[in-house]
Amino acid sequence: MAAPTTYATIVSDGGRGTGGGGRTLRQLWKVFTSEPVANSTSTLESAISATINGFDPPEFNNFGCWIKVDSTGPAPTYTLTMQESWDDTAANYVVPNANGTITTGVASTSAKVYSITPTPMPKFRFQVSAVSQTATDVVVTMYLFMLYTG
């Protein structure tokens, strides 16, 4: 398992009030920025910094991700999972029994958008695994969108 060469960065952090006392909060994160996943034994795990592994989902109720896995060779096959933890210790992150696998066996260089339904836990992060790829130039770019409407 590998840490990213660049950490997740927040692209926008917006909130606005809505009529009737409700509110809308939203955050857009760039999770991976052209991160390498070298071969079929490689995995890549998201991180926010050297000391912060996971995202904080409690104030949001809608989640989505945009991912593009690219290569100059044949379309890479990959799996995207969400790992969750009760704290932010790397060793405590696991794939939940429900809704942990976002997609598996995708062989494409086209961008994909997925709806995410986290199992209730205080922290989550992402893992990309290269399932069957011999190229050494596979790179991952991914964004996470979190929204609260209420």
Q: Which of 117, 112, 101 is nearest to 142 (CA)?
A: 112
Q: Are 32 and 48 in contact (CB under 8 A)?
A: no
| In the block, residue with structure tokens 């029994």 | 97
pLDDT at residue 106, as a whole number = 85
pTM of this structure:
0.86
pLDDT at residue 19, as a whole number = 42
β-strand partners of 46:
none
CATH topology of domain 9-149: Jelly Rolls (2.60.120)
Per-residue pLDDT band for 38 (boundaries 50, 70, 90) equals low
Per-residue pLDDT band for 6 (boundaries 50, 70, 90) equals confident
Structural domain boundaries of the chain? 9-149
pLDDT at residue 83, as a whole number = 95
Tokens of 43: 């995995």
What value does the mean pLDDT take over residues 74-78? 81
Q: How far apart are CA 96 and CA 42, in angstroms?
A: 21
pLDDT at 39 exceeding the cut of 70? no
